[in-house]
Amino acid sequence: MRRPSLTLRLTLAFTLLVALCSALVSVSLYRALSGELIWRDNQTLLNRGAQLRQLLLDGAEPRSLPLYFNRMMDTRQDILRISRPDGSVIVDVNQANVRVPPIAPSATSAALSDALLHAWQTPQGVTATGMALTGRDAQGPVIIMVARVAAEREQVLEAYRRKSLFISLTAIVLAVIISPLLIRKSLGAIKKLSRQTAQTHSQALEPLPLDTLPVELLPLGRSLNIMRQRLAEDFTRLTQFADDLAHELRTPVNILLGQNQVMLQRPRSAQEYEALLAGNIEELERMTRLIENILFLSRADHRNVVLDKQRLDAQTFIQSTVDFLEPLAEEKNIRVEIDAQGELCADRLLLQRTLTNLLTNALRHTAEDGQISITARSTDATATLSVANPGEPITEPEQLFRRFWRADNARQTPGAGLGLAISQAIVTLHGGEIAFHHRQGWNVFTVSLPAPFSGEP
């Protein structure tokens, strides 16, 4: 099932937000207006009752009060009744013909407040409010009852409700119509970013411009630029790797091809053919080692190498590797000093390969009668293994671990330039790091590995 588009979802969300806001604003304003109108009507009712009572106290004739009442009130919705305590009615103004329920009159000394007001519903469903006050005229006590039917107030509120509903519906319709246009325009940056990403290829990996992106898309733009940078680096490494690999394989293939072509130009003796086959086998073995190293690096890049980690006594492990390479050291009369303490946690064969590569490299670049130093230390956090040999600083140390790279002074030495790359791959598989630095006339390679846990065997 296809999910709704982002434009549709944002439109629905925006429309819902507009509807909720319109409803909240309309209800809040309606309640505020209704409360204000009710308060004003109540205050008007209280003031008029007090004025009528005061007129009676000042000597006004009760039958003359309708004249004042008509000026103060709207007789179409206001009610006035003045009666004696015995029930005889003196004045009765009730043009709205509203039945007024019995209202207990307040005491003469009672303060005028909203507590004196009594509200009820007329048969037509309109709210009415009234009160009864005890007063006195020249002939004795009277009861003044004033009331108001809120017909006009209901009309005002009804008109407000209709206008509020119309405005809210108009706002919702406008939100439905306008919001998709605004959203599509706002999402134009995403479409532009998508087009630029779709155009990504090996020749177009320059960083994307971020100055035109909205703030919300900046993290995505930065992530895409990081990805493009990594892709560019990977393409560069892959291209360089392919060029180096072709160069490394072309040389032995050309040698084999040339030797065999020369050999076939005329009849040869059995000894010459045997010598040719021996040379071919030597070149093929070198190519086999090269291919195996490349396959190992490929598996290491994809973490497709199973490690058999175990505790290794540093002194014993290093000594066995040095003994294996002792003939190479004796050819140049090179001394190998070992200063090892603690334990290493690694795959024995892979770590031995790493140490063999580092030690072979040191033997190759150490002058006759020289010295190589191997140290190992372990702490609770890490274990380090260092191989140091005297020599001049390397001009491009950042290239040391690049595949097929060899320094200018190493071009004439055997090897394909994969030893340090393989060593780095092995150390990385173990979760460690390998580093190089030149210190006081010594070239030092340091391998750092995680220390063995106390629970490991």
The CATH number that applies at residue 36 is 3.30.450
pLDDT at 455 over 60: no
Please tell me the distance from the alpha carbon of residue 198 to that of residue 188, in angstroms, as a whole number: 15
Residues 12 and 145 in one domain: yes
What's the pLDDT at 5?
81
DSSP H/E element including 372: strand 371-378
The answer for 98, left when phi > 0, alpha when psi is -120 to 50, beta otherwise, is: beta
pLDDT reported for residue 407: 61
Among the candidates 253, 280, 301, a domain finishes at 301
Residue 320 lies in a domain: yes
277, part of any domain: yes
* Residue in the structure block whose two tokens are 């490929």: 298
| 444 and 331 co-located in one domain | yes
Strand-pairing partners, residue 128, are 120, 149
Same domain, 296 and 317: no
Residue 390's pLDDT is 92
pLDDT of 292 above 70: yes
Q: What percent of the chain has pLDDT over 70?
A: 92
- Do 274 and 356 fall within a single domain? no
Last residue of a domain, one of 114, 134, 157: 157
Strand, helix or coil for residue 291: helix
> Could you tell me if 332 and 408 lie in one domain?
yes
Indicate whether 431 belongs to any domain. Answer: yes
Say if residue 166's pLDDT is above 60.
Answer: yes
Mean per-residue pLDDT for 33-62?
87
Over range 409-425, report the average pLDDT.
Answer: 68
pLDDT at 280: 86
| Strand bridging mode 127-137 / 118-121 | antiparallel
Give the per-residue pLDDT at 405. 67
Q: How confident is the model at residue 68 (pLDDT cuts 50, 70, 90)?
A: low
pLDDT tens-digit profile of 113-131?
Answer: 888 899 998 888 889 999 9
Report the number of distinct structural domains present in the chain: 3
Q: Output the 3-class SS for 24-53.
A: HHHHHHHHHHHHHHHHHHHHHHHHHHHHHH
Q: What is the pTM of this model?
A: 0.52
- Asked if pLDDT for residue 454 goes beyond 70, the answer is no
Model confidence at 43: pLDDT above 60: yes
Shared domain for 226 and 318, answered yes or no, is: no
